[in-house]
Amino acid sequence: MRRYDGVGVVVTGSSRGLGRALALAFAAEGAHVGVTYRTQAESAEETLALVREAGGTGEVHRIDMREADSVRSAFAAFEEERPIDVLVNNAAVVRDQPFMMLSPKDWSDSIATNLTGTYHACRAVLPFMMARRRGAIVNVSSVAALRATPGQAAYGASKAGVLGLTRTLALEVAARGVRVNAIVPGLLDTGMGARLDRRKVGERLAQIPVGKLGTGEEVASVALFLASGEASYVVGQALTVDGGLSL
């Protein structure tokens, strides 16, 4: 029997990149995967097709993580299809600019999607999980929350906020049967990392002790652990998956 046979899992921002890798990892373990997107509808449908090829089932919903009503209605639709046992908060945007060039809109978009979007998703799913007295939430932060990088004031602040939210929320809901933890990925060869200037990637590679970029699959394996019964006594933790970059 696979670890997630019949389990309902929602992965936000799963149309491509790390989100897709997360969705496929849960699908390969038998999950029913909720795939979400905001603008990449075709890519989201591709993810759903890959989910089914991997051995899972699933559905697609459009969500604007910045809007509470959008998140709430989508999660209610997921619940009608399959109870949500696992939420992976992955949806994020990057608006990298030197601080003095960072516009108020870029700042607010980063916070609204990366941090407030995580808040909206947790608010939407927790009533269901707490009523059943079971569930796991895995929030995706970033090494940018731990290690300063020029141009990432907005992204780093939003992802540091995710870590603070994770700890406090974990403390509040653990007694109701819901575990909340976080993953802290480093520089990956997929998603945002794949779109970086190659020269910058080369500079960062020299700072990674293992000497290579991480993969979406390496991060997804940690999510599979944190959301499973194998991590039943792991609460409010942030597991860093960065090849040693933050050391």
- In this structure, is the dihedral angle defined by the CA atoms of residues 89, 90, 93 and 97, taken in order, positive or negative? positive
CB 124 within 8 A of CB 75: yes
Choice among 37, 119, 155, 233 that is catalytic: 155
> Which tokens in the block code for residue 213?
């970029």
What's the rounded Cα separation, in Å, for the pair 222 and 215?
12
> Which tokens in the block code for residue 35?
């795939």
Q: What's the Rg (C-alpha) of the chain?
A: 17
Does the active-site annotation cover 233? Answer: no
Q: What percentage of the chain's residues is helix, strand, coil (to nearest 5)?
A: 50, 15, 35
Q: Locate tokens 């696992």: which residue?
A: 86
Question: What number of H helices and E strands is found in the chain?
Answer: 8, 7
Which residues are known catalytic residues?
155
